[in-house]
Amino acid sequence: MDELFTQGLFALFFVISVGLILGRVKIKGFSLDVSGVIFIAMLLGYWGVEIPKMFQNFGILLFIFTVGIQSGPTFFTTLFNDGKKPIFLTLILVCSGALLSVVLCYMFGLGDIGSILGVFNGGMASSIGLAASIDIVPSAQISLDYSLIYPFGVVITILFFQLLPAACKIDFKKENAMDDEDARKRNPIILRTDYHVENPSLDGRKISDLNFRTTTGGNISRIKHNGSVMNATLDSVLRLGDIVRVIGSEECQHKAMLLLGSVVENEDMDLPSQYENIWLLVTNKRIVGKTLEELNLSGIFNSNVIRLQRGNTELQTSGKLKIRYGDRVEVATDVSHSEAITDFFGNNIKQASDTDFLPITLGIIIGIFIGSLTIPIHNSFQIKLGLSGGVLIASLILSHIGKTGPIIWAMTPYSNNLFRQLGLLIFLAAVGTDAGAHITDVFNKESIIIVGIGCVVAIAPMIISYIVGKYIFKLSFIPLVGTIAGALNSTLGLTIIGVKTSSESLQTCYTATYPFSLVLMIILPQILSILLK
């Protein structure tokens, strides 16, 4: 049996299996989940079990690459388009945790960079920060201090989100109503409204001549002429007395009414048998990255994209909107073109669920190359991104680009989650056994000090960010706690508040800040290691 534990593969999968079993044990709703692996790994590492360092690096590669691929589009959208408040609040929370770690560690004589990074990642309960830190500073002290503090960090986070609503005397009915009103302003509901064409200047003109999408932000999906309903295309001609159906936001509908005429109620706009609206999945790589305008569906297929869903979000179908792999589009077409339009978009569900390994391997190669470069900053000051930093930068940029020639830089949610979890498990098992070999070093008088500092690092940034968000940024409660949960990458916090509110902005704010926080947790160890040399 001893010989088996000296074989890297057996030891790796044994540690992961036992750790996952431990992670499933719940005590009053609390469980270690995948973090159970690092505790089992440390125990077995103390008993002499070893897992080669190669597995640790392999786990980091998979974990960080999949995080970057998943976060790329959202990260850059948040950074440039979604406003400054969630970005600043995330910066405040994560950077205050890093600053507290540095100041408190130096105050108590623990100025070693390994201790600082261990305290920081343990207090923030960040496994991705742990991975990035160990890649930059190969010190067993990081994972030892992380393992000491992590359980306390998780418990403090749970208590914060459990007790905050009561401490602030939050009325969730009132908060939900306020948040729903804000949500309608930020993300307008897509409406379907029918209008009489009463504007004489529109008589005999094609829809393409009106620049309707540009002018109103909406889309004409159907036309009723002399009692006959048909799908609208850019070549469709409007006549006085026609009834048209417009799809768009409330603001769009107001503009459409000014352009077209009065609203028609309870009009029968059902399509006859020769027309249909079909939902299609974009899996044709040749059309990925093209705008709806460039696809020219009206000219080729006498068809029109009237709705587009990307993930859980419905987007307005402007001509400049670019198609991404995995988008779902609703196409208004006639039956004679339905087969051709289906082939045009792909609609291959099996293909969408398969994993293309070439973008993964190429992306990691590019990331390793970027991480190996030494970047001169000023005179003798240089920076090297390392394995984690290089792979993260590469995956973020490639995911944002979306497509390079025939290569689609994307992964299905199922594949991404599978590889991300596998990478994390391998990493935790390898780093845990390495830390376990030095576990006796941590059971000393410094242990209580380290745990105490970690608890301060866990609670203080949440309190600071809540105060700043409420009194300076003037955020209402639900978006604020959603932002804090995202900045902490805390699904526990999201779940705790989520059972008390039906508001979608909780998840929206979490999703907006989550990728930015992940990137910060990888970059900050780089900065700290340079500044504290």
Return the pLDDT at 140.
78
- Average pLDDT, integer, range 370-374: 81
Checking if the pLDDT of 283 tops 80, the result is yes
As a whole-number percent, the residues of the chain with pLDDT over 70 amount to 86
Poorest-pLDDT segment among 162-166, 175-179, 262-266: 175-179
Return the pLDDT at 363.
92
Return the pLDDT at 441.
58
Return the pLDDT at 216.
83
**Burial zone of 262 (CB within 10 Å; 0-12 exposed, 13-18 middle, 19+ buried):** exposed
Q: Tens of pLDDT along 96-118? A: 999 999 999 999 888 788 889 99
Return the pLDDT at 462.
94
Q: In whole angstroms, give the CA distance from residue 100 to residue 518.
A: 19
Poorest-pLDDT segment among 221-225, 376-380, 472-476, 498-502: 376-380
Query: 351 or 253: which carries more pLDDT confidence?
Result: 253
Q: Tens of pLDDT along 413-460? A: 778 878 888 988 898 888 778 777 766 655 565 778 888 999 999 999
CB neighbours of 37 closer than 8 A, spacing ≥ 6?
A: 15, 16, 19, 20, 22, 23, 425, 428, 429, 432
Checking if the pLDDT of 496 tops 80, the result is no
**DSSP secondary structure of 55-81:** HHHHHHHHHHHHHHHHHHHHHHHHHHT
Query: 456 or 506: which carries more pLDDT confidence?
Result: 456
* Residue in 312, 287, 322 with CA at minimum distance from that of residue 508: 312
- Average pLDDT, integer, range 148-172: 82
Return the pLDDT at 178.
72
Checking if the pLDDT of 468 tops 90, the result is yes
Query: 68 or 145: which carries more pLDDT confidence?
Result: 145
| Residue 469: DSSP 8-state | I
Checking if the pLDDT of 465 tops 60, the result is yes
Q: Residue 79 carries which side chain, given as an amino acid letter?
A: L
